[in-house]
Structure 1
Amino acid sequence: MSIYQDLLNRKTKICVVGLGYVGLPIALEFGKYFDVIGFDIKEDRVALMKAGEDPSKELDRSAFEKKSIQFTSNPDEIINASFYVVAVPTDIDESRVPNLKPILGASKSVGNILKKGDYVVFESTVYPGCTEEDCLPILERLSGLKLGKDFKLGYSPERIVPGDKTRTLTKITKIVSGSDAEALEEIAKIYDHILEEGIHKASSIKVAEAAKVIENTQRDLNISLMNELSMIFDRLNIDTKEVLEAAGTKWNFLKFYPGLVGGHCISVDPYYLLHKSKQLGIDPQVIAAGRRINDGMPSFIAKKAAQMLIENGKNPGNCKALIMGVTFKEDVADIRNSKVIDLYKELTSYSIHVHITDEHASPNEVAHEYGVSMVDSISSDYDLVIVAVGHDKYKHMNISNYKSITNENPIIIDLKGIYDKETWEKAMTYWRL
């Protein structure tokens, strides 16, 4: 009997390790058809999920209904499963080196209870080789079992995009891979059971790992080109958005736009590929250049803001600024790797007094993660307002709204290009990337 059939017949369970933006949707979707154990080391998050609440604020309560799932933070309770899905976060440290602690810790938790016949599938974004070279040895050492003989291994990279209500988990083609032909077929059948768009079978685990890490590296490079162009066009005194709209009339022109590049994927994944490349003695030029450009955007924007204040006859040290938006993208609560915080720090280096507001973000999380306090209420005397995130609410604000919160002769910096330049320039000093 295959593990797929055992799961269908409720003879065993799936355990999802890590219940964040990726793990929770997977656990709940599996829970429609199989018995599931959802495991997370954070007890406060588990308590919320037991009450039918998504700590990430992506799913409503209905997503928890009619699911065969138990949530736990007790590692002893996951032994009753046979198919383990590891979906813990993989980020970078302050030196921009891959932080493998969460995925290695999850490997230890699973390795301690791994049994003959079990499957372990990793979903976390890693560099090619990490699953087999870093995680597998832990599984074998702690379990005393051998891959192929006693258990199977797989990799199926996550592709969930926070805030995207159209391309949800079941509507995305899923890449799957396995340690051998049997593992690939069983893993494919299990995932295919919950998907509408089906699966793509990668020839190896390394191919699947590489496919995931280059998806966001490609986006990072495309955006970095737009950011570099925006710096060039600013010196030429031409509007980047107008240039891109004109160029975009050509059928094969790719439509990317400049901006802050944060979040848990695009600003992180390239560093995993850079890390592995350097281990191999390769020094990637293009990928590294793209990262330098995108990481340097907060400094460029802050310098531009200070120059504009001076041009308006204001001393930056006596000025007050408001940053609208701190999440890494519009209409989500996710603040991971928010480059808005870097912008905040760059602005304060010019002695500008800066406030941050964002109704989507948790003030407690912002304070805990970045040591920055968000304002409880917006003032009426800002010299500078930076619209950093394109939240839907901000798109509907008008010139009168901004005049009510600013001093005389204010500056509006529109990083997402959500307002009409011609209209706004008639009312105040306006600039966009």
Structure 2
Amino acid sequence: MLAHKRVVVIGLGYVGLPLAVALAKSTEAWGLDVDTGRIAELQRGHDRTGEIDADRLAVSSLRLTTDPAACPGADFYIVTVPTPVDADNRPDLSIVMAATRTVAKMLVAGRRSIVVYESTVYPGVTEEMCGPELERISGLVCGTDFFLGYSPERINPGDREHTVDRITKVVSGQTPEVLDAVADLYGQVTTGGVFRAASIKAAEAAKVIENAQRDINIAFVNEITQIFARMDLSVWDVLAAAGTKWNFLKFEPGMVGGHCIGVDPYYLAHRATELGLDPRIILAGRDMNDGMADWVANEVHAWHGAAAGRVLVLGLAFKQDVPDLRNSKVADLVAAFRGLGHAVDVHDPLVSAEEARHEYDLDLVETPAGPYDLVVLAVPHRELVEGFAQFAGLLGNTGGIVDLKNVLAAKGQLPRDAKIWTM
């Protein structure tokens, strides 16, 4: 058992906080985050991501701080910070490298700590970039004074079934002994067991292909959606029929955003390019998915008569029932509608108005006021779907409803004789 061990989790977002709370059940756990506002709200018992409720925070023994110096020497340092892409879709490792430098200053000679990365990276980053940086800053020797591990995060925001304490956790370590220690640590966290990857690079690679695989499959469905639209054929009808085959993969069309599926394939593509390879399938999938917002806007514009009007877009988050709006493709949809001459209001009861303004320069409308020419259900938050009648009531006489995920009819939320567009 590792009850006597000490762990510091660096980064307390969607990934780090649930992990730190789970670790605190069996070991002394510290949570470190540079965002003073984030730490303050957690100390008040509020998690803005909605992953950990107030009751769990209240009873957790997790110790929270923004000061690395406040953390005592630890046996494990687990890095769970974001790894986004830049404006040119190239890997941006600045945050993970900043966290690495923070950890380096916390390492204690003689303790032989293990530094585990959960942040999504391409194969080689942990050992070829993070390890040398830890050595440079700390003055210690990797593989002698401290060791490396990698365990890719598998958090699915808003998913209450596949939580960190239930999923299979892939683990890896620099040596067999380190692998045993990392496996032991995570084995106490999850009932789903651990899978010992053959190497750190194998674990890094597993993470990027998990999301690249989903991205490519969704891109295929998005492409056939566009093909069938030219035939006046509903992709939903086609998928319903094809889905009766036992081995058909049930992916749906949509705008692929967020901080994983819409980002991680670029990490693998970047590394492939460095190796002199042309990652055609990966980048083709990305190109298809990144273009869906423009395609939807143009299709809806033509369907509605190619006349500019007032549009109400419902939902800004990157997926339903979460407040996270990072890399949301709804922002691209809004820009596309505005580019076609429409005046667009955006309403999302879950996301922060301040974050929407900061991230996308969008001012959310708290109480939409009609009449609107189009009401677009872009993100089917439960609250928006169940209360859709109030938004449908804001339509003008010739107005139309756009249901991107085709959920309103099944939920009995479509007004009688409604003019409806879906993919």
Say if 2:400 is the partner of 1:405.
no
Q: Please give the secondary structure, in 1, of the residue aligned with 2:406.
A: coil
Partner of 1:227: 222
* 1:79-118 pair list within 5 angstroms: 79-115=72-108, 116=110, 117-118=112-113
Q: Following the alignment from structure 2 to structure 1, what is the Cα–Cα distance between the partners of residues 143 and 404?
A: 52
1:423 is displaced (CA, Å) by 9.6
Q: Following the alignment from structure 1 to structure 2, what is the Cα–Cα distance between the partners of residues 101 and 120?
A: 18
Q: Following the alignment from structure 2 to structure 1, what is the Cα–Cα distance between the partners of residues 152 and 283?
A: 23
1:415 is displaced (CA, Å) by 0.5
Partner of 2:268: 273
1:356 pairs with 335, 346, 351, which one? 346
Partner of 2:313: 323
- Gaps in structure 2 of 5+ consecutive residues: none
1:58 and 1:332 in contact (8 A); partners too: no
Give deviations 1:231-265, integer Å, cap 9, x for gaps: 00100001100000000011110100000100111
Q: Please give the secondary structure, in 1, of the residue aligned with 2:241.
A: helix
Q: Following the alignment from structure 1 to structure 2, what is the Cα–Cα distance between the partners of residues 102 and 131?
A: 14
Say if 2:182 is the partner of 1:187.
yes
Q: Percent identity?
A: 43
Say if 2:66 is the partner of 1:73.
yes
Partner of 1:47: 40
* 1:257-272 pair list within 5 angstroms: 257-272=252-267
Q: Following the alignment from structure 1 to structure 2, what is the Cα–Cα distance between the partners of residues 144 and 119?
A: 16
2:132 and 2:142 in contact (8 A); partners too: no
| Matched residue type, 1:168 | T
1:431 is displaced (CA, Å) by 1.1
1:259 and 1:415 in contact (8 A); partners too: yes
1:254 pairs with 249, 254, 268, which one? 249
* 1:140-179 pair list within 5 angstroms: 140-179=135-174
1:139 pairs with 134, 148, 169, which one? 134
Gap change, CA 1:237 and 1:172, over 3 Å in 2: same
1:280 is displaced (CA, Å) by 0.6
| Matched residue type, 2:141 | K
Give deviations 1:335-378, integer Å, cap 9, x for gaps: 11000001011111011000000101111111111111101211
Say if 2:337 is the partner of 1:347.
yes
1:409 and 1:428 in contact (8 A); partners too: no
1:393 is displaced (CA, Å) by 2.3
1:334 pairs with 309, 321, 324, which one? 324
| Matched residue type, 2:377 | V
Q: Following the alignment from structure 1 to structure 2, what is the Cα–Cα distance between the partners of residues 245 and 174?
A: 33
1:268 is displaced (CA, Å) by 0.4
Q: Please give the secondary structure, in 2, of the residue aligned with 1:8.
A: coil
Partner of 1:290: 285
Q: When the two structures are superposed, what TM-score results if normalisation uses the length of structure 1?
A: 0.94
Q: Please give the secondary structure, in 2, of the residue aligned with 1:262.
A: coil
1:216 pairs with 211, 214, 218, which one? 211
Q: Following the alignment from structure 2 to structure 1, what is the Cα–Cα distance between the partners of residues 353 and 222?
A: 29
Partner of 2:57: 64
2:386 and 2:413 in contact (8 A); partners too: no
Q: Please give the secondary structure, in 1, of the residue aligned with 2:31.
A: strand
1:80 is displaced (CA, Å) by 2.6
Q: Please give the secondary structure, in 1, of the residue aligned with 2:107.
A: coil
1:274 and 1:287 in contact (8 A); partners too: yes
Partner of 2:404: 415
1:394 is displaced (CA, Å) by 3.0
Give deviations 1:162-194, integer Å, cap 9, x for gaps: 000111111100000000100000110011011
